[in-house]
Structure 1
Amino acid sequence: MKDKVLAVLDEVRPMLQRDGGDVEFVELSDDNTVYVRLRGACGSCPGAMMTLKGGIERLMKERIPEIKSVESVQ
């Protein structure tokens, strides 16, 4: 499951990097919650939650239906 999560993050990473940001995998919990850290421009962007929930989480759940949610950590 972790390999699938990393593959999805690798898929979205180029879009984030174009805007000066990045996403770092932190943890996959037992209840299938993915924890990530938004870095660079994404860490301080006012639209970070939209990127996280509307972009990364949406794609993650689409590709891996078992994923419960994607949450950002500091």
Structure 2
Amino acid sequence: MREKVEAVLDKVRPMLQSDGGDVELVNVTDKGIVQVRLTGACKGCPMSQMTLKNGIERIVLKEIPAVKGVEAVD
């Protein structure tokens, strides 16, 4: 599962990196929650929660139905 999530995050990274940010996979829990760390310009950005839910989570859920959600961790 972790490899599948990394592959999907690789699709999202260019969008984030174009704005000076990035995303790092921290963990995939047994309950199907993907934990990520937003870095660079994304860290602390007021729009980071929207980026997480409307961008990253939407794409991960679409491509990997076993994932139940995506959350940011520090």
TM-score (norm 2): 0.98
Q: Helix, strand or coil for the counterpart of 2:36?
A: strand
* Deviation digits for residues 19-41 of structure 1 (CA, Å, limit 9, x no counterpart): 00000000000001000000010
- 1:51 is matched with which residue? 51
Q: Does 1:69 align with 2:69?
A: yes
Q: CA deviation at 1:11?
A: 0.5
Q: CA deviation at 1:44?
A: 1.5
**5+ unaligned residues in a row in structure 2: which ranges?**
none
TM-score (norm 1): 0.98
Q: Matched residues, percent identical?
A: 59
Q: Structure 1 or 2: larger helix share?
A: 1
- Which consecutive segments of 4 or more residues in structure 1 shift more than 4 A? none
The 1-side partners of 2:51 and 2:8 are apart by: 14
The 2-side partners of 1:2 and 1:55 are apart by: 19
